[in-house]
Chains A and B, each alone.
Chain A
Amino acid sequence: MSFTSSYFLLFLAVLAVLYYLPLRRLQWQLLLAASFFYYAFSGIINLAYISATIVTTFIATLIMDRLRTAEGRSKKQIKSRRRAVMLVCLAVNIGGLAVFKYAPLRFPLGISFYTLQTMGYLLDCYRAKNAEFTERNPFRLALFTSFFPQLIMGPISRFSDLKKTLYGGHRFNADSFLDGFLRIAFGMFKKLVIADRLSPVMKTNPALAVFLYAIVLYCDFTGGIDIALGVAKIFGIELAENFNAPFFSTSIADYWRRWHITMGAWFRDYIFYPLSISKPMRKLTMRLKEKAGDGAAKRIPVYIATIVTWFLTGIWHGSQWNYIVWGLANGVIIMLSQECESLYKRFRAKHERLTASKPYAAFAVIRTFVLMSLLRGFDLFSYPAQTAKLNAANIVIVAAGVLLLAAIGFWRHSHKDAKPSAAWRITAACALIAAVLVFGAYGLGYDASGFIYTQF
């Protein structure tokens, strides 16, 4: 049941009515039932996989919790036992994900996302200072894992954030509902008017392919996330933002702070930081300090952690070599730019006026866009060749759509906290729906294409 299908919209409408009217006292239970119902459309067997993740995580976190107060054991013993439980649960779930990534099995929809999210919760429970963090109701944990708007392509939420709004008690709020509705309409516009129209022709012209793919991927992924956030908002639930104007980035590192933010944060918090301060790394730092000096001791462990993190990021995206190369290339470029930071600083100091100017900022933005587009060539590479072409009318629609997105992007950039009036938002939502209905690439004659990020 794709986010852009009429069945999904019907499902959403029925659910919203039930959520705010007869089942207002059972909101989170209703969302759990709806999430399982929604996920069952991707294959009944997938319910077994997600249930396995929920059950193993629930049991592991409960055991870790009980071990805190285990009598007759030293702190060290408790710590090592808790770690063993955490590692077994991690191994089972990450192993399961790896099996599906590498074995010729049908890939369960959303497994990459819900596994990361649930393993994040497991690690948070492991690190938590007290037992209160652990969720003791398996069904509430099940909802955290399976909440349908974020289930198949994120954002990857943290339990401590999501639990604030996930478990109900929401009264209908017209303003919040309107925000959600507008966000869904905007997501549909990006996906159906731009991404799905451009997607069948993006590889036709090799010279433009990487740039067109950048637009397609942006509209496809941010469109899906907009719908996810909008749907959650309709139910009064706040999901984490996953993008922050990524095409305004001035460097690759900046880009990764703005693109797929929740995934970047996950790898940063659960891979990069723990690895950087792990015992072997600390030992390495000491050794390097003695033998190669402070500079190397500061940099090399960070670079190792960077490379490992990006290697895993690549693998998470796909099991093929091109994803691994893509991940490593990102890591190498970030490392190189860190290495060159002193040069940049000197350049900026010497040419203060130039580097503070708007044209230079534009240059930095374009340079990053081009570089990121070229890096995505590793990803685009795996797409089949295309020969279809867009006629002039369709080119105009795509160009107008992209210009509209750019204009909205600029407006948001310069009016960060501004919120348009309700009348404006209703008008905007209506206009977007009309644009989607008329100019959307859907129905007979179009291949209904799924969201690109649901395959990861």
Chain B
Amino acid sequence: MKKVKFVVIPIVFLLLLFGLQQLLMPKYMDGVYDGAMPKEYYAEPKDHSVIFLGDCEVYENFSPIALWREYGISSYIRGGAQQLVWHSYYLLEDTLRYETPDTVVLSIFAMQYGEPKNEAYNRLNLDGMRLSLSKIKAAKASATEGESTLSYILPILRFHDRWQELNTTDLQYYFGTKKVGHNGYLMKNEVKPVDYIPDGSKKPSYDFSSLAWEYLDKTRELCEKNGINLVLIKAPTLWPAWYPEYETQIEDYAAKYGLTYFNMLESVEEIGLDWNTDTYDAGNHMNLPGAEKCARWIGGKLLELSSLPDLRDNAKVSAIWDKKIADYERMKEIQLAEIKAYGKAKTIIY
């Protein structure tokens, strides 16, 4: 009996602690929705031909639904707010635990960030990752001063102090959060035309850091090892500035390793972007029409590079995508109605 107590009480305690941790973890269901997206990947069927990696340059600028509708390409965006190159690398490593896509599209915008920047962004990108060696390595590589790797394994160590700020959202989504992304795409339907393009400030150096290069190399090597076609892209956003010096370095790298690189800023007309209608924040990110145009354009380019399967004939897969399209269209209608009524979309989660 005594031995039973020695075992049962700690087990009950650990379960309670796990429950407590669940309560204290941020749910990202009010305000900062980006943080809820990384974990959505795990609930998806793992049959993606294309995986996008990067920051808002991918998860706000490409619509996988449009890619499916137009070409029957099954894709997913494993994006995250201010996703840095090492975040992307470890997310790819994590993805390969579940599936091996034909193509990985990597946004190279984050190459300009040479070192871990901000704990909040680390959290937005990594908290949603399932516990794995890749997650631990990602936490280690990303840690800013004072951050502990252990707190990514036991998030209560980081979020314990949230007992002071718990609200109804924490109770409402205790047993599970709603969906935010549409295969990793964060839908925005507002329209704000480009009226001004801020000049990029002068920088003391335009050279990418050795750390950024190291992880780009690792990403390339991992793709090579797994027979994945790696495509580098710069999304067609007008600001923050993408300097010519950055462009040269990426072009040289792509040429050196025989990689395909698309700077979509050079193809704005071909994509069909209209800066009066296709951006929701004056050129920093695309809105839904812009993201659909970008998706259609990149889909065409990817098909030129390799023979990605058209899965629309597959009834099982199509049924799943039909459901996704229905959710997508419903959200689009809701947002457009809200914009009409309030000038701003309020609904993101579904």
Q: Are A443 and B161 in contact (CB under 8 A)?
A: yes
Q: Given known contacts A394-B164, A438-B163, what 16 new A-B pairs fall within 8 Å (CB)?
A: A6-B148, A178-B6, A423-B5, A423-B9, A426-B10, A430-B13, A433-B13, A434-B13, A434-B16, A434-B17, A439-B160, A443-B148, A443-B157, A443-B158, A443-B160, A444-B119
In the assembled complex, 9 residue pairs joining A and B whose CB atoms fall closer than 8 Å, in A order, are A6-B148, A391-B164, A422-B2, A422-B5, A438-B160, A439-B163, A442-B160, A443-B148, A443-B161
Q: Are A426 and B17 in contact (CB under 8 A)?
A: no
User: CB-defined interface of B152-166 with A at 8 Å, one 1/0 digit per residue?
Assistant: 000011101101100
Given the contacts A434-B13, A434-B16, A445-B161, A426 and B6 also touching, CB distance less than 8 Å = yes
Q: Are B6 and A174 in contact (CB under 8 A)?
A: yes
Question: Nearest-CB distance from A381 to chain B (Å)?
Answer: 30
Is residue A44 contacting chain B, with contact meaning CB distance below 8 A? no
Is residue B150 contacting chain A, with contact meaning CB distance below 8 A? yes
The 6 closest A-B pairs by CB, nearest first: A430-B13, A426-B9, A423-B5, A438-B160, A393-B164, A6-B150
Counting contact residues on chain B (CB < 8 A from A), the size range is 20 to 34
A444 — which chain B residues lie within 8 A by C-beta? 119, 146-147, 158
B2 — which chain A residues lie within 8 A by C-beta? 422
Is residue A427 contacting chain B, with contact meaning CB distance below 8 A? yes
Question: Nearest-CB distance from A441 to chain B (Å)?
Answer: 9
Q: Are B164 and A430 in contact (CB under 8 A)?
A: no
Is residue B24 contacting chain A, with contact meaning CB distance below 8 A? yes
A442 — which chain B residues lie within 8 A by C-beta? 157, 160
A440 closest partner in B (C-beta): B160
A426 — which chain B residues lie within 8 A by C-beta? 5-6, 9-10
CA of A443 to CA of B150 in the docked complex: distance in angstroms?
11
Question: Nearest-CB distance from A277 to chain B (Å)?
Answer: 52
Question: Nearest-CB distance from B254 to chain A (Å)?
Answer: 38
CA of A413 to CA of B119 in the docked complex: distance in angstroms?
47
Is residue B172 contacting chain A, with contact meaning CB distance below 8 A? no
A6 closest partner in B (C-beta): B150
Q: Are B24 and A438 in contact (CB under 8 A)?
A: yes
User: CB-defined interface of B310-324 with A at 8 Å, one 1/0 digit per residue?
Assistant: 000000000000000
Question: Nearest-CB distance from B19 to chain A (Å)?
Answer: 11
Question: Nearest-CB distance from A423 to chain B (Å)?
Answer: 5
Is residue B132 contacting chain A, with contact meaning CB distance below 8 A? no
Is residue A437 contacting chain B, with contact meaning CB distance below 8 A? yes
Is residue B241 contacting chain A, with contact meaning CB distance below 8 A? no
Is residue B20 contacting chain A, with contact meaning CB distance below 8 A? yes
A443 — which chain B residues lie within 8 A by C-beta? 148, 151, 157-158, 160-161
Q: Are A438 and B20 in contact (CB under 8 A)?
A: yes
A441 closest partner in B (C-beta): B161
Question: Nearest-CB distance from B57 to chain A (Å)?
Answer: 28
B7 closest partner in A (C-beta): A426
User: For window 1-48 of chain B, which residues contact chain A by CB distance below 8 Å?
Assistant: 2, 5-6, 9-10, 13, 16-17, 20, 24
User: CB-defined interface of A256-294 with B at 8 Å, one 1/0 digit per residue?
Assistant: 000000000000000000000000000000000000000
User: CB-defined interface of A27-44 with B at 8 Å, one 1/0 digit per residue?
Assistant: 000000000000000000
CA of A438 to CA of B150 in the docked complex: distance in angstroms?
16
B150 — which chain A residues lie within 8 A by C-beta? 6
CA of A257 to CA of B76 in the docked complex: distance in angstroms?
70
A393 closest partner in B (C-beta): B164
A427 — which chain B residues lie within 8 A by C-beta? 9
B148 — which chain A residues lie within 8 A by C-beta? 6, 443
* Candidates A423, A430, A437; contact of B157 at CB < 8 Å: A437
Question: Nearest-CB distance from A94 to chain B (Å)?
Answer: 39
A445 — which chain B residues lie within 8 A by C-beta? 161
CA of A444 to CA of B156 in the docked complex: distance in angstroms?
12
B4 closest partner in A (C-beta): A423
Q: Are B160 and A434 in contact (CB under 8 A)?
A: no
B164 — which chain A residues lie within 8 A by C-beta? 391, 393-394
CA of A178 to CA of B161 in the docked complex: distance in angstroms?
28
B9 — which chain A residues lie within 8 A by C-beta? 423, 426-427, 430
CA of A111 to CA of B10 in the docked complex: distance in angstroms?
38
User: For window 159-184 of chain A, which residues contact chain B by CB distance below 8 Å?
Assistant: 174, 178
CA of A430 to CA of B13 in the docked complex: distance in angstroms?
6
A423 — which chain B residues lie within 8 A by C-beta? 5, 9
Question: Nearest-CB distance from B23 to chain A (Å)?
Answer: 10
User: CB-defined interface of A354-380 with B at 8 Å, one 1/0 digit per residue?
Assistant: 000000000000000000000000000
